[in-house]
Structure 1
Amino acid sequence: MSGPPPEAQVTWPEAERMFDEFEHTAFRLETLQNYAVEYEDELFARFLTAEREGLPAPLSDDDWQQEVRDGTAAGRSYSRVHVVIEPLTDYVRFECASGYRSNIAAGEDVRILPARDGRWPAGIPRMDYWLFDSRRLLVMDYAESGALTSMRLVTDSKAVESANAWRDRALDLSLPFAEYAKRFDEYMRPL
């Protein structure tokens, strides 16, 4: 008798069910400096325009923030660590200024792990994933452009154990977003 395959492709509706089904914790490791997410295009353009015109940075208010509000009200926790390479790309500045500030207001714990002088943090993989309840690992694969190409549910126990260790290391090395953001203006430009 054989066990489940070590990994299986996951569709978007299947991934959404993982967010509905987790009981306690959802952790996200982000490592890209640009994500090509179509639903963010308009807000990203507004961010760049507002910056040029000296207007306040627009804040995100989408389904994710509502999901976090609902989940935290039900006693679940959401956290993420984004490894960011300095100087920040326009996309990361946008993600921080518009998205992360909104996510934090909704109840998500957002942390930043700066990679300075071209040095990637030791013990942190260059891969993106969600880890649900420390036992379900959803690995996200991206094209060079930042477009999501596939998602895989990884059930290999050693891989899940590694993802837990990477999470713990990333949390240990990172800074709360509010602390990190003190070095920047509202558009995440260095002070």
Structure 2
Amino acid sequence: MPLIPFEEITHLFADFEHTAFRLETRRGYASDRQGARFQAFMRGVLPEPEPDHPWNVNVRAKAERGARFSRVRIIDEPPTDGQRFLMATAAGNVAAGEDIRVLTRAEAVRLHLPDYDLWLFDSRTLVRMHIDDTDTTIGVELVDDPAEVLAACHARDTAWQVAVPTAEVWTQVRSSV
């Protein structure tokens, strides 16, 4: 499958009917590191929730219509700066209606979860993220092969059963820093 720009699939975040699930496998993302919130976080400033951010506005709107956003973030032990930042910002997403959980990398390996980021919409549309060595998204792949979609559904269900709500892990991580 050819790579397409991420912008070409953004309509899926508004168009899905029931569920949008993300598996995050990276130790950090270039887009986060380039932002002012990340830079402030690295100086010890905790990120404030952004309820009016378009992402959170959409999550709330979809939740009001009964749809669900969820994600599992794979984290290292100890978490990287990028992973700590994602845990610190999760509260705003959760307040908007997203369910975000974390799973250790060791557990993800034990469970044979994919080692790439993905989005899964309504258990039928799989978007495989292609991210380079600098943690920059270089494109996405729309996957329509039923076996790959089913494998992503299995990975989601497997990860979800053992993942822990981000807030619980963030409390432990914060207290150790």
Q: Assess same fold via TM > 0.5.
A: yes
Identity of aligned residues (%): 34
| Residue in structure 2 matching 1:44, options 38, 41, 59 | 38
Residue number among 150, 153, 177 corresponding to 1:161 in the alignment: 150
The corresponding residue for 1:4 is none
Kindly tell me: are residues 19 and 39 of structure 1, through their superposed partners in 2, closer, same or farther at Cα, counting changes over 3 Å?
A: farther
2:17 to 1, 14, 23: 23
Q: Name the one with the larger helix percent.
A: 2
Cα distance in 2 for residues equivalent to 1:71 and 1:8? 30
What is residue 3 of structure 1 aligned with on the other side? none
The reply to whether residue 94 of structure 1 matches residue 85 of structure 2 is yes
TM-score with structure 2 setting the length: 0.90
Matched, 1:83 2:74: yes
Aligned alpha-carbon RMSD (Å): 2.0
Q: State the distance in 2 between where 1:170 and 1:184 align.
A: 21
Q: Distance in 2 between matches of 1:171 and 1:128?
A: 15
Which structure has the larger Rg? 1
Q: State the SS of the aligned residue for 1:66.
A: helix
1-structure distance, mates of 2:108, 2:152: 21
Work out which of the residue numbers 54, 58, 62 in structure 2 matches 1:67. 58
1:1-191 to structure 2, matched below 5 A, reads 7-37=1-31, 41-49=35-43, 51=44, 57-61=46-50, 62-97=53-88, 99-116=89-106, 120-185=109-174, 190=176
Distance 1:82 1:121, change over 3 A: farther
Structure 1 residue 40: Cα displacement: 5.6
1:100-128 deviation digits (Å, cap 9, x = unpaired): 11111111000000135x98332211011
Does the aligned pair in 1 maintain the 2:33–2:39 contact within 8 Å?
A: no
Distance 2:32 2:150 in 1: 33
Q: Check 1:21–1:8 CA distance in 2 against 1; reply closer, same or farther (3 A cut).
A: farther
CA shift, 1:43, in A, is: 0.8
TM superposition shift of 1:74: 1.8
Counterpart Cα distance in 1 of 2:58 and 2:167: 22
Q: Deviations over 1:155-187 (max 9, x none)?
A: 0010001000000111012111122223132xx
Residue pair 2:108, 2:159 contacting (<8 A) in 1 also: no
Q: Is the 8 A contact 2:120 2:127 kept in 1?
A: yes
Gap runs ≥5 in structure 2? none
Preserved contact between residue 32 and residue 82 of structure 2 (Cα < 8 Å): no
Deviation at 1:67, TM superposition (A): 1.5
Q: Following TM superposition, by how much is the alpha carbon of 1:34 offset from its aligned partner in structure 2, in angstroms?
A: 1.0
3-state DSSP class of the match of 2:110? coil
- 8 Å contact kept, 1:154–1:160: yes
| Amino acid across the alignment from 1:167 | R
